Structure 1
Amino acid sequence: MARCIETPAQPIDQPARPKAQQPAAAPPVVGRDDFEEALAAQVTLEKEVTRANDRASAARRRLPMVEVPDYEFTGEDGPVRLSELFAGRYLLLVQNVMYGTDWDEGCPSCTSAVDNLPANMGRLDEEEISFAMISEAPIDKLRAWREKQGWPHTWVSSAGTGYHGDWGWTLTSEDGSYSGPVPGYSYFLLREGTVYLTYATYARGTEAILPVPHIMDRTVYGRQQAWEDSPAGWPQYPTYG
């Protein structure tokens, strides 16, 4: 399963709240009519994005599926089969959280992604969607990190299985600068006792279910990340800052 490799986020030397001070730069001030005209043009552009997303979603619903082995993971209470993660439902969303076998902590970016999950996960239950996380690290490390973050989610270890290697969730970059887990989401269907993979996404595809980045996108300064196309003078920081 080919994909881009994203290395784990690393802390950088900068203030704890670099965005706390309001930037000096700001948009030009115009009259109400000019603003409404500019906003209408933006809405037209965003409708194009919505329609394109609808087409992508329609294509996604027409993807084929592939059978997946019923891996036996390690849960906090012992062995857990992949099929058991469905918890009596027929749809399963798995977050492949970056936490290498020899890491002392989980990836900061993946940790932030988990924090972005709905406060009421019961809304997924109502849609027959179960949620679980899978990582390579030993279960004791996962348990400790989960408790530190205050997460209630099911988290299992794939250590000793071929899951990560079989489905491309552990990769080595072409230049050899990174070798280890990569982040992403897997969507499964349980049908007549067999598990199937119906969709997977990684890299920036993971943003689709993260509300905070989308909220930031709609503020005047955006995400304030170095890769963004922003006006001159707009604040920008390293992506993994």
Structure 2
Amino acid sequence: MNEHKIVTRQEWLAARLKLLKEEKELTRRSDELAQKRQQLPWVRIDKEYQFETERGKGSLRDLFQGRSQLMVYHFMFGPDYEAGCPSCSAIADGFEGVVKHLGNHDVTLCAVSRAPLPKLQEYKQRMGWTFPWASSFGGDFNRDFNVWFTEEQQLKGTIEYNYRREPEMVWRKGKEGGGSGAEAEFAAMCGTDVPTYHRDRPGLSTFVMKDGKIYHAYSTYSRGLDGIWSMYQWLDRAPKGRNEEEGVWWRRHDEY
């Protein structure tokens, strides 16, 4: 952190008002983008996706829970993981307080992961969460919405994530397990190796039901999720910001 100037209250107020002007511009721009996001065209979903839920087997329609809008958080928890992704876990910590508010606005929020339901339920209990979490184990849902990729795609460099082609994962050709730094630490925290960890990805997809038909409305990935990562929103307003350290600087909430 750089040394900060120490100023008078009047000087601080002048600097704050200058920043406030920029903050208001950003807020107005964010409102405009929200409107454009809601004006995106829809794509009809005809495929019959199946999930395992706490209520039993269900379809994508069942995930709506009788509401007209569905928001799916693509939670990184593959079948070979022993625990959920720490980053996704930090994001999901913010779901608890908003699920009921969203429901009041005709929106269901549900997490979906590829791990079998018993693994998800055990981890959910550990974390103390109550939001809906469904398993897409064995289905095409994660693949079709670009949050799961095969080992072959990794090796050939044919992964399309966050609306762009990724470069070939050169580390995969090296020592088995590969990876370094934060990537390797996250994989270890999930009880798997880096290539396996990296085949699942985070994202948010939204759906709408109209006249009995389901439509895909929006998806965002990677840094597009920063806005729903409540920890970031708080830290960005703290005096030292995110104060990011090298490597993994956060843990699951029961590991601090």
TM-score class, shorter: 0.7 to 0.9
Matched, 1:124 2:143: no
Structure 2 SS opposite 1:181: coil
Q: Which runs of 5+ in 1 are unaligned?
A: 1-22, 226-235
Higher percent of residues as helix: 2
Amino acid at match of 2:168: D
Aligned to 1:208: 227
Contact 1:136 1:159 in 2 (8 A): yes
Amino acid at match of 2:238: T
Contact 2:91 2:230 in 1 (8 A): no
Q: CA deviation at 1:197?
A: 0.9
Q: CA deviation at 1:54?
A: 1.7
Aligned to 1:61: 38
Q: 2:247 aligns with which of 205, 229, 238?
A: 238
Contact 2:114 2:135 in 1 (8 A): yes
- Aligned pairs (5 A) from 1:34-183: 34-68=11-45, 69-171=47-149, 172=154, 174-176=167-169, 177=172, 178=195, 179-183=198-202
Contact 1:83 1:195 in 2 (8 A): yes
Aligned length: 208
Amino acid at match of 1:96: H
Contact 1:102 1:137 in 2 (8 A): yes
- TM (norm. structure 1) is 0.80
- TM (norm. structure 2) is 0.76
Aligned to 2:161: none
Distance in 2 between residues matched to 1:202 and 1:31, nearest whole Å? 43
Matched, 1:190 2:209: yes
Q: CA deviation at 1:125?
A: 1.2
Aligned to 1:8: none
Structure 1 SS opposite 2:199: strand
In structure 2, the CA distance between the partners of 1:209 and 1:115, relative to structure 1 (3 Å rule), is same
Distance in 2 between residues matched to 1:121 and 1:54, nearest whole Å? 22
Amino acid at match of 1:74: E
Aligned to 2:175: none
Q: Which runs of 5+ in 2 are unaligned?
A: 155-165, 173-194, 251-256
Contact 1:189 1:198 in 2 (8 A): yes
Contact 1:89 1:129 in 2 (8 A): yes
Amino acid at match of 2:79: T
- Aligned pairs (5 A) from 1:22-33: 27-33=4-10
Q: Per chain length, whose mean CA-contact separation is higher, i.e. which structure has more relative contact order (CA < 8 Å, sep 6+)?
A: 1
Structure 2 SS opposite 1:170: coil
Aligned to 1:222: 241
Amino acid at match of 2:24: K
Distance in 2 between residues matched to 1:210 and 1:56, nearest whole Å? 18
The sequence identity of aligned pairs, in percent, is 30
